Amino acid sequence: MPYIPEEAREEIKGQVVVQSRRVPNNSGELNFSITSIILEYLERQGLYYQTLNDITGALGEVAAEFRRRIIVPYEEAKIVENGDVYPDLSALAEAVRSIHGTD
């Protein structure tokens, strides 16, 4: 997560909302909004390997952080609520450890 100063966060959030005029209503609009921000960054920074690396790195980290902070807790809550769809694999794990001689 990009832990930048609170003032910078608010300024950037405000600029993004003002530029887009509204929050996206569906996945297509969300994708378009993100793509627009990326293309503007690319235009400002120039077509260089570092810029491409910055973009793909940021997208990957945003996805990883979103998964860790939002998706995983949601999935865990749903497992508790509805039961796990995966079988108890402890016996399988034990068998694999005994085959490989690890504990």
pLDDT category, 3, cuts 50, 70, 90? low
Report pLDDT digits (tens) over 42-77. Answer: 999 999 999 999 999 999 999 999 999 999 999 999
How far apart (Å, rounded) are the C-alpha atoms in residues 2 and 50?
A: 18
Encoded amino acid at 85, one letter: V
User: Exposed, middle or buried: residue 54 (CB in 10 Å: 0-12, 13-18, 19+)?
Assistant: middle
Computed over every residue of the chain, the mean pLDDT equals 85
For residues 38 and 47, the answer to whether their CB atoms sit within 8 Å is no
Confidence of residue 16 (pLDDT cuts 50, 70, 90): low
| pTM, entire model | 0.68
